[in-house]
Amino acid sequence: MKKLIVTADDFGISKEVNEAVETAHKNGILTATSLMVGELFAGDAVNRARLLPNLGVGLHVALSRARPLSAPADIPDLLDADGLLRADLVGSGFRFFFLPQVRRQLRAEITAQFEAFANTGLRLDHVNAHNHLHLHPTVLSLLLAIGPAYGMKSIRLPYDCNARGIGAFFLKPWLALMKWRLRKHHIRHNDVLLGLNETGQLDSKTLISLVEGLSERTAELMCHPATGPWPGMDPMAGGFRHDLEFKALIDQASIKAICDNGVQLIAYRDIE
């Protein structure tokens, strides 16, 4: 059976994203979403999710370009001059790995985010990280150490079978190690992640092409829908067509492609 999880990231970052998630789940093919618990519209997202029992809601652990949940005095090495979690992914990656005091602060922030999700009362469907930082061995180690106590049973494996080039070549051993570690800890995961190459540009035609190319395994399609732009959008996502992705999720042609290709729509909790 071809199985597909369709996940919207950044739930809670804006009302426009929250509206798109709700509508795409009710009227389209969206089956899951990943909540940013520290963002301004997280409360609105949780209220909507409580009315959508079939929507798989996971934790989108935010360790970059996001609002922290810990007190600034407790995590000074994780923050920039504006009090936000640092946007410098490479620099942060080195600090996470080599500096013990940074790892202690990282543990505190990750724990705070799991705690905040637990306080929503929602069932934890899955865990992943903003900017795929859960690929980092230190971050993954902390997720595996902290998450199970909060009901973590599934983590996104960011393996794109369509990825090419030098980046994909160097990621291959990291992904193999991550997969081994997840299985060692009895954490469920998807087999393949779709939508990485199309991040922010996933239109109906591309979505249908990805669906038609599915094989007999569990795939996840990652997307970033919104009904429109919002104030304070991340400049790094300035070229994203959030509205285009939203329309692709509710397009009748997309829904028909799911049916025509014998695809079962699931959430992470349905992985056997």
Residue 221: in which H helix or E strand, if any?
strand 218-223
pLDDT at 264: 98
What are the sequence ranges of the domains in the chain?
2-270
Q: What is the mean pLDDT of residues 221-249?
A: 89
pLDDT surpasses 60 at 169: yes
Q: What is the mean pLDDT of residues 195-213?
A: 94
Backbone torsion region of residue 53, taken as left when φ is above 0, otherwise alpha when ψ lies between -120 and 50, otherwise beta: alpha
* 8 A C-beta contact, residue 60 and residue 17: no
pLDDT at 197: 87
* 8 A C-beta contact, residue 120 and residue 55: no
pLDDT at 232: 80
User: Which residues neighbour 251 within 8 Å (Cβ) at sequence distance 6 or greater?
Assistant: 28, 204, 207
Task: Give domain 2-270's CATH superfamily.
Answer: Glycoside hydrolase/deacetylase (3.20.20.370)
User: Which residues neighbour 138 within 8 Å (Cβ) at sequence distance 6 or greater?
Assistant: 96, 97, 103, 106
The Cα–Cα gap between 21 and 35 comes to: 11
Average confidence score pLDDT of the chain:
95
Q: What is the mean pLDDT of residues 208-229?
A: 97
Which residue in 180, 263, 261, 153 sits closest to 219, CA to CA?
263
Q: Which long-range contacts (CB under 8 A, 24 or more apart) does 66-71 make?
A: 66/36, 66/38, 66/39, 66/130, 67/38, 67/39, 67/40, 68/38, 68/109, 68/112, 69/37, 69/38, 69/109, 69/112, 69/113, 69/116, 70/105, 70/108, 70/109, 70/112
Which residue in 166, 106, 162 sits closest to 134, CA to CA?
106
Which residue in 230, 214, 229 sits closest to 264, CA to CA?
214
pLDDT at 163: 65
Using 50, 70 and 90 to split pLDDT, how confident is the model at 238? low
pLDDT digits (tens, 9 = 90+) for 112-167: 999 999 999 999 999 999 999 999 999 999 999 999 999 999 999 998 876 665 56
